[in-house]
């Protein structure tokens, strides 16, 4: 009976460990704003929350397609396709999208992004976007647009990294005549398992706002990533609990055990679960973009900067900041040169935010260029162990 009581006391620990049984790196929900979607954007290290652009930028700010169409309404249909590779997705990053300008009714868009590391590690992501006018411009400030993303993602990922599971040792206390916790250790306990798999289906909503000319030649953008979301998940291996007899107090087996161990281990089985995305997944990004002309107005400069905030919606997490900035020079009307710097993660692991000592930000430098004429655009970017190219057309 005492043994059963002690096992029940430990049940909360066992259940919690089952939910976080092993790490899957990366967390593609938290990392979504960091993943490639535009060569123009990534040439400036991802500083794009206040960058006026088409459907390819809905991952950074869902509001920008309609604002861009309001600024230049010479075309209704916007089509974009890109290709990239980096250190994690060395096989393929492939975003494509299209949007249609409905004039006073706003802009609707569809996008798809395929992220592939290898045959066992990939994600498909489809996005429906709507953006429209929220407030018309005033005397001294520009109009405000809003946008909404509804994202569906299906991910399959393999892991060879297993988190240690707790093993709790109980000892019989003769004074209180009850079992008390002696020690808790972490140990990797397996039943012939070397590879874990994760299958996820996710439905997520992002919202964004964009204002042209919040001040003279200064644009503003704000995006709340992962505002709402629901996840269906299958993980393998699963875990099971067991009680292991270690030492009897005496040769008389009717006496209470002096020690026993209550533990859990990995087993070759699939565990299914579903839940709402938690507060830890909500990310806020605020950005500005400054526009000016130099050299007798022959060169137009665009200087965007973003600040991202992670952990601000979860009291249990340390608040962390990211910074991204870039510069784009447009000369001879059609040619562009871009550079960028970011103090930001390249990707975020599933348990990274829980550890306050984990250093997330890397120093990221990037550059690139582009060509635009009439309704056609071509852009390239290059960074450390990464590169990409994109084509766009407006009809």
Q: Is the backbone peptide bond immediately before 237 cis, with ω within 30 degrees of 0? A: yes
Question: DSSP label at 74?
Answer: S
d(CA 291, CA 243): 67
- Walk along the chain (395 residues) and give the pLDDT tens digit of each residue: 334 333 333 333 333 333 333 344 678 898 988 899 999 999 999 999 999 999 999 999 999 999 999 999 889 999 999 999 987 787 789 999 999 999 999 999 999 999 998 888 899 999 999 999 999 988 788 999 999 999 999 999 887 566 667 777 777 777 777 777 766 666 655 555 667 888 999 999 999 999 999 999 999 999 999 999 999 988 887 766 666 655 555 555 555 666 666 666 677 778 888 999 989 999 999 999 999 999 888 899 999 999 999 999 998 899 999 999 999 999 998 999 999 999 999 888 877 888 888 888 999 999 999 999 989 999 999 998 899 999 999 99
Helical ranges in the chain per DSSP H:
2-9, 11-19, 39-43, 64-71
Element (H, E) at 360: none
Pairing of strands 238-248, 178-187: unpaired
| Pairing relationship of beta strands 362-373 and 335-344 according to DSSP bridges | antiparallel
């Amino acid at each position: 009976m005492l043994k059963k009581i002690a096992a029940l006391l430990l049940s909360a620990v066992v259940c919690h460990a089952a939910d976080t049984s092993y790490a899957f790196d990366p967390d593609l929900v938290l990392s979504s704003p960091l993943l490639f979607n535009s060569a123009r954007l990534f040439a400036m290290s991802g500083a794009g929350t206040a960058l006026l652009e088409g459907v390819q930028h809905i991952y950074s700010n869902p509001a920008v397609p309609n604002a861009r169409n309001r600024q230049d309404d010479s075309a209704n249909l916007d089509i974009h396709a890109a290709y990239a590779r980096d250190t994690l997705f060395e096989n393929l990053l492939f975003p494509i999208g299209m949007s249609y300008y409905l004039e006073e009714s706003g802009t609707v868009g569809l996008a798809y992004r395929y992220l592939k590391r290898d045959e066992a590690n990939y994600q498909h992501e489809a996005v429906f976007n709507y953006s429209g006018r929220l407030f018309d411009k005033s005397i001294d400030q520009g109009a405000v647009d809003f946008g909404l993303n509804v994202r569906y993602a299906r991910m399959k990922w393999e892991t060879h990294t297993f988190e240690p599971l707790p093993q709790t040792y109980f000892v019989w206390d003769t004074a209180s005549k009850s079992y008390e916790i002696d020690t808790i250790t972490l140990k990797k306990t397996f039943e012939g398992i070397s590879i874990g798999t994760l299958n996820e289906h996710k439905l997520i909503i992002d919202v964004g706002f964009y204002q042209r000319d919040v001040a003279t030649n200064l644009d503003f953008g704000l995006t709340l990533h992962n505002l709402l979301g629901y996840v269906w998940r299958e993980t393998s291996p699963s875990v099971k609990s067991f009680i292991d007899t270690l030492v009897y107090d005496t040769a008389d087996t009717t006496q209470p055990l002096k020690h026993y161990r209550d533990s859990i281990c990995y087993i070759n089985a699939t565990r299914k679960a579903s839940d709402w995305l938690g507060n830890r997944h909500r990310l806020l990004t605020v950005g500005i973009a400054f526009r000016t002309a130099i050299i007798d107005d022959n060169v137009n400069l665009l200087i965007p900067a973003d600040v991202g905030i992670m952990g601000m919606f979860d009291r249990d997490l340390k608040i962390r900041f990211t910074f991204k900035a870039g510069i784009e020079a447009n000369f001879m009307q059609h040619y562009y040169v871009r550079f960028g710097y970011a103090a930001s993660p390249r990707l975020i692991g599933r348990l990274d935010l829980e550890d306050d000592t984990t250093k997330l930000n890397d120093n990221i430098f990037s550059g690139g260029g582009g060509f635009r004429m009439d309704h056609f655009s071509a852009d390239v970017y290059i960074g450390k162990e990464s590169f990409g190219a994109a084509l766009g057309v407006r009809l």
